[in-house]
């Protein structure tokens, strides 16, 4: 059986790196999608770092806010691997936090475009191939703040909640075709995105997490690889997998 191909958007970032590595450990051929503001050297340097740690992960440029760029990204993946995408992890995302009363249209639009429109652009390009093959995995990275809301994140909470609606609808459309579609909702994970929050606020948030700590990127990566596991995952679809240390229990 040929090696299945996984594409992780935002693959060179905090969560993305762990997701790529866990999927590689699980035996998949992994390509990290990256934007990095068009900084190709940064992506190449990331790739070299992975190589030093024994990971052979390829990189493909793609701006997930732009349909044409996404199509180019998929074409690059196909060129690099000689196959089509079996596993898509829609992980790329941004924050532009601020209270709603002060939020600009730009803050709203940038977050909705990067976090939600990206689901359409990337998934639309690979879903028919998965259906034709009779196997596929789509994993959409949302957030605990979609489930519970968060002060200062009207834009992000809205986009991330939209992701789960998308997951549930698409899961129904492809359920009989061997394709599962799930959401993973991380809590506060030790990444650069969380490090940007003022220390005092981080401390307040951490104090409210029953497990008593922020999560690790590896804990999210492992959940993604579980959702791709042949033995375990065929019957999990349309689900929202919470990995949040108990911060929100639904």
Residues 6+ apart with CB under 8 A from 18: 216, 217, 218, 220, 221
Q: Which stretch binds ligand CAA (CB under 6 A): 84-92, 111-119, 141-149, 226-234?
A: 141-149
* Whole-number Å distance between alpha carbons of 55 and 34: 17
From residue 94 to residue 113, what is the string marking binding to ligand CAA with x (rule CB under 6 A)? -x-xxx--x-----------
Does 152 bind ligand CAA (CB under 6 A)? Our answer is yes
Burial (0-12, 13-18, 19+ Cβ within 10 Å), 66: middle
Q: Helix, strand, coil % (nearest 5) of the chain?
A: 50, 15, 35
The residue (of 139 and 194) whose beta carbon lies closer to ligand CAA is: 194
By beta-carbon proximity to ligand CAA, the closer residue of 3 and 99 is 99
CB-nearer residue toward ligand CAA: 76 or 142: 142
DSSP annotation string for 38-79 = G-HHHHHHHHHHHHHTT---EEEE--TT-HHHHHHHHHHHHH
Q: Name the β-bridge partners of 147.
A: none
Choose, from 55, 156, 188, 235, the residue flagged as catalytic: 156
| CA 54 to chain CA mean position, Å | 23
Give the nearest distance from C-beta 105 to ligand CAA in angstroms.
17
Please say whether the beta carbons of 231 and 176 come within 8 A: no
Q: Which of 84, 153, 167, 182 binds ligand CAA (CB under 6 A)?
A: 153
Told to check if 215 binds ligand CAA by CB under 6 A, we report no
| 3-class state of residue 57 by DSSP | coil
Judged by CB under 6 A, the chain residues 115 through 134 that form the site for ligand CAA are none
Which residue number, 189 or 227, has a Cβ lying nearer to ligand CAA?
189
Q: Which residues pair with 140 in a beta bridge?
A: 90, 183
Stretch in the footprint of ligand CAA (CB under 6 A) among 56-64, 119-127, 189-197, 221-229:
189-197
- Catalytic residue list contains 188: no
Binding site for ligand CAA (CB under 6 A): 95, 97-99, 102, 143-145, 150-153, 156, 186, 188, 193-194, 197-198, 201
Which sequence positions are flagged as catalytic?
Answer: 156
């Amino acid at each position: 059986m040929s090696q299945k191909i996984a594409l992780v958007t935002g693959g060179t970032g905090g969560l993305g790196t762990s997701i790529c590595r866990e999927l590689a450990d699980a035996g998949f051929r992994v390509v990290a999608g990256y934007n990095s503001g068009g900084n190709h050297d940064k992506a190449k340097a990331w790739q070299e770092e992975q190589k030093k740690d024994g990971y052979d992960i390829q990189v493909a440029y793609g701006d997930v806010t732009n349909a044409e760029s996404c199509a180019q990204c998929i074409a690059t993946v196909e060129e690099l691997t000689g196959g089509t995408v079996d596993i898509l992890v829609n992980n790329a995302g941004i924050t532009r936090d601020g209270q709603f009363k002060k939020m600009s249209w730009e803050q709203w639009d940038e977050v909705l475009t990067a976090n939600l429109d990206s689901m359409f652009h990337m998934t639309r390009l690979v879903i028919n191939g998965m259906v034709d093959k009779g196997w596929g995995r789509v994993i959409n990275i949302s957030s605990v703040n979609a489930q519970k809301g968060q002060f200062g994140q009207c834009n992000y909470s809205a986009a991330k909640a939209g992701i789960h609606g998308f997951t549930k609808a698409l899961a129904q459309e492809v359920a009989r075709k061997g394709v599962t579609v799930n959401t993973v909702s991380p809590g506060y994970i030790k990444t650069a995105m969380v490090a940007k929050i003022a220390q005092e606020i981080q401390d307040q948030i951490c104090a409210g997490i029953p497990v008593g700590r922020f999560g690790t990127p590896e804990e999210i990566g492992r959940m993604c690889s579980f959702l791709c596991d042949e033995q375990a995952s065929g019957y999990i679809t349309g689900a929202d997998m919470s990995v949040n240390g108990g911060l929100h229990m639904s």
